[in-house]
């Protein structure tokens, strides 16, 4: 079995660093044979903080062609659904951080959805933690203990995302209000506090 974790574990936020570690530890304590790979948005090595190194999101896209039927992608923990590319990039790149803090540029980028459109073509993913492009098999995608406050507006304005979440293999959220957001759109899920 090939297990691929995708998490916000490429920047120093202690809680986000823990999710891939916990997934790997649980797998190690099981009786299953597995290969584990940890991905973030960028390649990183925060092992000085106790984190697992990450390969980049681009490497996940590239490696996806070699994924077999026993491959699983687990998007792990954190408030990952609502964040668009600009919001995520600002944490890991000073150029995008300056753009984010310019309210006019931020408005134009968010209103035009240019990063989402570009990324759906080049990264096969309209948003950093939503693998909605045709390159990924939705039955291999799982979300574990995520926060989803940002999903309220996202799901209200886009039926494609509702379809996406109904087609993935598994979805669990960490809190009742996130659960209610998905249930309002008849999306099956579990409540798993982080």
pLDDT tens column, 142-184 = 999 998 888 888 898 789 999 999 999 999 999 999 999 999 9
Res 3: pLDDT: 95
Average pLDDT over residues 78-85: 82
Average pLDDT over residues 126-147: 88
Quickly name the fold that domain 2-85+129-191 has.
Rossmann fold (3.40.50)
Res 172: pLDDT: 96
Q: Which of the four pLDDT bands, split at 50, 70 and 90, describes residue 185?
A: very high
Q: By the 8 A CB rule, do 162 and 155 touch?
A: yes
pLDDT tens column, 93-123 = 889 899 999 999 989 988 888 888 888 777 7
Res 48: pLDDT: 93
In this predicted structure, the answer to whether residue 132 has a pLDDT above a threshold of 80 is: yes
Where exactly are the structural domains of the chain? 2-85+129-191
Phi, psi (degrees; rounded to nearest 5) at 113:
55, 30
Q: By the 8 A CB rule, do 4 and 76 touch?
A: no
Q: In what order do the strands lie in the sheet with 170-173?
A: 35-39, 2-7, 71-79, 141-147, 170-173, 190-191
In this predicted structure, the answer to whether residue 73 has a pLDDT above a threshold of 80 is: yes
Phi, psi (degrees; rounded to nearest 5) at 190:
-120, 155
Higher pLDDT: 12 or 18? It is 18
Q: By the 8 A CB rule, do 83 and 128 touch?
A: yes
Residue that has been written with the tokens 């909605």 in this structure: 132
Distance CA 97, CA 73 (A): 28
What are the percentages of helix, strand and coil residues in the chain, rounded to 5? 45, 20, 35
Q: Is 50 left (phi over 0), alpha (psi -120 to 50) or beta?
A: left
Distance CA 118, CA 125 (A): 9
Res 117: pLDDT: 83
Rounded percentage of the chain residues whose pLDDT exceeds 70: 100
Distance CA 68, CA 52 (A): 24
Query: Chain-wide mean pLDDT for the chain?
Result: 89
Residue 30: partners with Cβ closer than 8 Å, 6 or more residues away: none
170's enclosing H/E stretch is strand 170-173
Q: By the 8 A CB rule, do 141 and 166 touch?
A: no
Q: CB 51: neighbour CB atoms within 10 A?
A: 24
């Amino acid at each position: 079995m090939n297990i691929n974790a995708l998490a916000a574990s490429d920047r120093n936020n202690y809680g986000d660093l823990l999710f891939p570690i916990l997934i790997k530890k649980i797998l190690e304590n099981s009786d299953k044979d597995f290969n584990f790979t940890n991905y973030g948005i960028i390649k990183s090595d925060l092992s000085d903080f106790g984190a697992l190194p990450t390969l980049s999101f681009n490497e996940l896209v590239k490696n996806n062609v070699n994924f077999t039927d026993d491959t699983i992608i687990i998007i792990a923990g954190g408030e990952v659904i609502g964040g668009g590319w600009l919001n995520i990039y600002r944490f890991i790149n000073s150029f995008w951080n300056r753009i984010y803090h310019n309210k006019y540029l931020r408005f134009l980028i968010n209103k035009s959805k240019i990063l989402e459109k570009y990324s759906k073509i080049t990264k096969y993913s309209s948003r950093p933690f939503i693998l909605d492009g045709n390159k990924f098999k939705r039955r291999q995608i799982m979300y574990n203990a995520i926060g989803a406050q940002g999903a309220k507006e996202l799901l209200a304005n886009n039926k494609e995302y509702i379809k996406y979440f109904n087609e993935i293999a598994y979805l669990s959220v960490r809190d009742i209000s996130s659960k209610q957001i998905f249930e309002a759109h008849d999306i099956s899920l579990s409540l798993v506090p982080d």
